Amino acid sequence: MAQLRAGIDLGGTKIQAIVADDQHKVLAAARQPTPTGGGADGVVAALTAAVRDAADHAGVSTRELAGVGLGSPGDVDDEKGVISNASNLSGFDKPVEVAAKLRADLGVERVRLGNDVSVATQAEFELGAARDYRSLLGVFWGTGVGGGLILDGREWHGRGAAGEIGHMVVELNGARCPCGRLGCMEAYAGRRAMEAEARRLHDKGERTELFKIMRDRGRDRLTAGVWHRAWRHKDKLALRLLDRAYEAMAAAVASAVNLLDVEAVVLGGGMGIRFGEVARARLEKQMLPHTFNDDRPPAVVLASLGDLGGALGAALLLDGKAGS
Amino acid sequence: MAQLRAGIDLGGTKIQAIVADDQHKVLAAARQPTPTGGGADGVVAALTAAVRDAADHAGVSTRELAGVGLGSPGDVDDEKGVISNASNLSGFDKPVEVAAKLRADLGVERVRLGNDVSVATQAEFELGAARDYRSLLGVFWGTGVGGGLILDGREWHGRGAAGEIGHMVVELNGARCPCGRLGCMEAYAGRRAMEAEARRLHDKGERTELFKIMRDRGRDRLTAGVWHRAWRHKDKLALRLLDRAYEAMAAAVASAVNLLDVEAVVLGGGMGIRFGEVARARLEKQMLPHTFNDDRPPAVVLASLGDLGGALGAALLLDGKAGS
């Protein structure tokens, strides 16, 4: 039997687990909402539940898994098996010994940890849309906007914190970013910042269907699905905020391309995947006026592993290639 | 006798040549103004004149040189020995076979060509202010603002055109850059753009000493020396445009740091060297509000090879390390 492994993508709102074989074929997938409040134990319990579900669907016990890889936000220390400074996760503002807990609870020997954006970028590079390129920038457009770099076939992490494309400055003294700084790209393009701006304008009396769609879909925030439906309905406020998001994202991505001259840009993330080709084409088009070598722009491609890219990348950690 | 080599820094306004030994010790230096108009032959004649002068000072004939390295703007093809698309150089908008001409005119066997910013970055990395770092961003603040990247000890060129830090976007729909695009950092921080803005405001009636200082110094443009003197005189317009330049440069450099998380930023270039520690300290300070990991900012250091850095880096090309 092929060696099976699990991969987990730990996000602020959902946990995606998969079981894959050693050829990276996904045999089963399972999803859990990320517990909000209740501390780190609740989050770890949801991680193990997701892996158990996926293993069940694949017809194996978690003890039979060759290992578990986890992609996480925050500061990831794979050597120590610890995640910290993940402010979006309940209880993860302090260091959490995730690897030891997963090993004990799931009965697996090997647990590897990686940065969520890094493993997703690595997955697209090894298995997805960027297989044909040696240098690329992964742009993950979701709650925030994360960036992953592959340069000459290898991940670039700098001193451990490279890839903060969402915090490249696109407007001097511009909008306040959720990070507290002014004029970051994410202040315009991150879903969280877009929602805050939509609420502010709605509270001031601007008309929008965004919050009605949100309630109709039983959501408590403006998910990528809510934005997409509002866009299809040509909701004026939504269109305006999306325009602003594309403008800021295109400027920052073009700036990164001017600096690094990579072969390809891979667009993923919750918003990127939901808007799909529309988002890819807009990013490509709106980057061009800012691209210094506009006769030879990089390829702009859509992440092809979709929702499972993060979990697949986490499983790749067990090959010892991906990491943070 | 130690093997001597020449290095040439070909700029839009001046040509700097040196003769150095194989330990990179500068034995002699010579300078020529870059001919404007008159085509490529005039520029090449000035290159050879500068090398001859430097060789004379060093007490050798150019035939005795082990080789000549040249750092140049534009598209540099070292393999073919050709420079093209250097729009600031008379006759270099078309391809010029510089290496063959230098070999013939100087009687040297080896001629190596490199990008001016790349070789200056490499010189600071190998011999100058960045010797203690493995990853760095070189910021050359002059007529424009050029960038050079060393990542994990090796130059990063991307597909050949990396480092365009001057064309990172710092203001959506911002000022018109000399390159024609909107909101590039260089539109605020490049000496050429600063001069255009100063002229525009002066023509509109704003008071400034900048152009009087220029004339008193026998210049036909606002050199780094002119800006420095106006700054010392607390000329209000000059101070305002310098503020704008630092603001834009700091935002772009911080954006690059957020993306790459390099260990160090090295500030050089005509303006950077002239303003020296004042510029370094301001850049360091003004980057911080935009730096995502502000508890661990990169070192910001001044290029230590000064005016000769470009020529020294060009000579390094003969070691087969630097290049474009």
First to last CA, chain A: 30
User: CA B135, CA B121: separation in Å to the nearest integer?
Assistant: 11
Give the Cα separation of B173 and B235 in Å (integer).
29
Chain B hits for A259, CB-CB cut-off 8 Å, are: 147, 149, 162-165, 168, 256, 259-260
Residues A208 and A201 sit within 8 Å (Cβ to Cβ): yes
B60 in any annotated domain:
yes
Phi, psi of B37 (to 5 degrees): 75, 160
Query: Which residues of chain A does B251 touch, with a Cβ-Cβ cutoff of 8 Å?
Result: 169, 172, 183
Inter-chain residue contact B254 with A293, CB threshold 8 Å: no
How many structural domains does chain B have?
2
3-state secondary structure of A19: strand
Select from A165, A170, A262 the Cβ nearest to the Cβ of B158: A262
A165 lies within 8 A of chain B by CB: yes
Domain that holds residue B59: 5-120+309-319
User: Mind telling me how many Å the CA of B151 is from chain A's nearest CA?
Assistant: 8
Same domain, A244 and A105: no
Q: Which of B161, B168, B255 sits opposite A261 (nearest CB)?
A: B161
Q: Are residues B184 and B217 in the same domain?
A: yes
Q: Are A162 and A87 members of one domain?
A: no
Q: B292 and A170 in contact by Cβ < 8 A?
A: no
Nearest-angstrom CA–CA distance, B231 and B220? 18
Q: Residue A260, SS3?
A: helix
A-chain CB neighbours of B169 within 8 Å are: 170, 251-252, 254-255, 290
What pLDDT does B323 receive?
43
Which residue in the set A163, A169, A171 is minimally distant from B254, CB to CB? A169
Pair of tokens at residue B215: 């004339």
| B134 part of contact set with chain A, CB < 8 Å | no
Please list every residue in chain B whose beta carbon sits closer than 8 Å to the beta carbon of residue A156.
151, 260
Chain B residue with CA closest to A286: the answer is B172
Contact between A191 and A227 under an 8 Å Cβ cutoff? The reply is yes
Residues B236 and B181 in one domain: yes
Whether residue A102 sits in one domain with residue A29: yes
Confidence bin at A323 (pLDDT 50/70/90): very low
Residue A252: pLDDT band (50, 70, 90) is very high
Cα B287 from Cα B269, distance rounded (Å): 18
Name the pTM for this structure: 0.94
- Percentage of residues in chain A having pLDDT higher than 90: 91
| A160-209 confidence digits (pLDDT tens) | 899 999 999 999 999 999 999 999 999 999 999 999 999 999 999 999 99
Cα of B144 to nearest chain A Cα, Å = 14
Backbone angles phi, psi at A247, to 5 degrees: -60, -45
Burial state string for B56-82 with b = 16 or more CB within 10 A and e = fewer than 16: eebebebeebbbbbbbbbbbbbbeebb
CA separation for the pair B200, B252 (Å, rounded): 25
Q: How many CB atoms lie within 10 A of CB A320?
A: 8
**Chain B neighbors of A260, CB-CB under 8 A:** 149, 156, 158, 162, 259-260
Residue A126 resides in a domain: no
Interface membership of A290 toward B (CB under 8 Å): yes
Contact with chain B for residue A299, Cβ under 8 A = no
List the single best residue of B155, B253, B260, B286 to mutate versus A (max A Cβ within 10 A).
B260
Examine the domain organization and report whether A192 and A91 are in the same domain. Answer: no
Helix axes B224-232, B269-287, angle to 10 degrees: 50
CB contact under 8 A, B156 and A151: yes
Handedness of CA A194, A195, A197, A202 (dihedral sign): positive
Which residues in chain A are closer than 8 Å to B156, comparing Cβ atoms? 151, 260
Which residue of A lies nearest to B257 if distances are taken between CA atoms? A162
* Per-residue pLDDT at A76: 93
Say yes or no: B76 and B115 in one domain: yes
DSSP A122-156: HHHHHTSTTTT-SSEEEEEESSSEEEEEEETTEE-
Please answer yes or no on whether A151 and B147 come within 8 Å at the CB atom: no
Question: How far, in Å, CA of B47 to CA of B15, rounded?
Answer: 7
Q: Rounded to whole angstroms, how far apart are CA atoms A89 and A13?
A: 9
A136 and A274, same structural domain? yes
Residue B261's domain is classified under what CATH number? 3.30.420.40
Contact B315, B5 (CB under 8 A): yes
Pairing assessment for the beta strands A68-72 and B111-115 based on DSSP bridges: unpaired
User: Average per-residue pLDDT in chain A?
Assistant: 95
Asked if the Cβ–Cβ distance from A179 to B292 is below 8 Å, we say: yes
Give the chain A residue nearest B168 (alpha carbons). A255
With CA atoms as reference, the chain B residue closest to A159 would be B261
* Chain A residues touching B177 at Cβ < 8 A: none
- Regarding whether A210 and A167 lie in a shared domain, the answer is yes
Residue A136 lies in a domain: yes
Amino acid of residue B310: G
Q: Are residues B165 and B112 in the same domain?
A: no
A247 touches chain B (CB under 8 A): yes
Mean pLDDT of A59-69: 97
In a domain, B127, yes or no: no
Give this complex's ipTM.
0.94
Q: What letters, b where the CB count within 10 A reaches 16 and e where it falls short, cover A30-40? A: bebebbeeeeb
Confidence class for position A4, pLDDT limits 50, 70, 90: very high
Distance CA B105, CA B231 (A): 43
- Do A96 and A203 lie in one domain? The reply is no
Q: Tell me the pLDDT tens digit for each residue of A274-291.
A: 999 999 999 999 999 999
The H or E element spanning position B270 is: helix B269-287
Cα angle A91-A95-A96, degrees, rounded to a multiple of 5: 70
Q: What is the pLDDT of residues A208-219, one digit of tens each?
A: 999 999 999 999
Count of residues for chain B?
Answer: 324
Tokens at residue A111, please?
Answer: 């647990």
> Would you call B172 an interface residue with chain A, using a CB distance cutoff of 8 Å?
yes
Q: Hunting for tokens 């060759």 — which residue is that?
A: A66
**B125 in any annotated domain:** no
Q: Judge whether B324 lies within some domain.
A: no
Contact A261 B171 (CB under 8 A): no
pLDDT band at A87 (very low <50, low <70, confident <90, very high): confident
- Quick one: which of A311, A305, A308, A307 has its CA closest to A69? A311
Interface contact A258-B164, CB threshold 8 A: yes
- Does residue B59 fall inside a structural domain? yes
Residue A324 lies in a domain: no
Same domain membership, residue A185 and residue A100? no
pLDDT tens for each residue of chain B, 324 residues long: 578 999 999 998 899 999 999 999 999 999 999 998 889 999 999 999 999 999 999 999 999 999 999 999 988 999 999 999 888 899 999 999 999 999 999 999 999 999 999 999 999 999 999 999 999 999 999 999 999 999 999 999 999 899 999 999 999 999 999 999 999 999 999 999 999 999 999 999 999 999 999 999 999 999 999 999 999 999 999 999 999 999 999 999 999 999 999 999 999 999 999 999 999 999 999 999 999 999 999 999 999 998 899 999 999 999 875 444
To the nearest whole Å, the CA of A34 is away from the closest chain B CA by 26
* pLDDT at B87 (0 to 100): 82
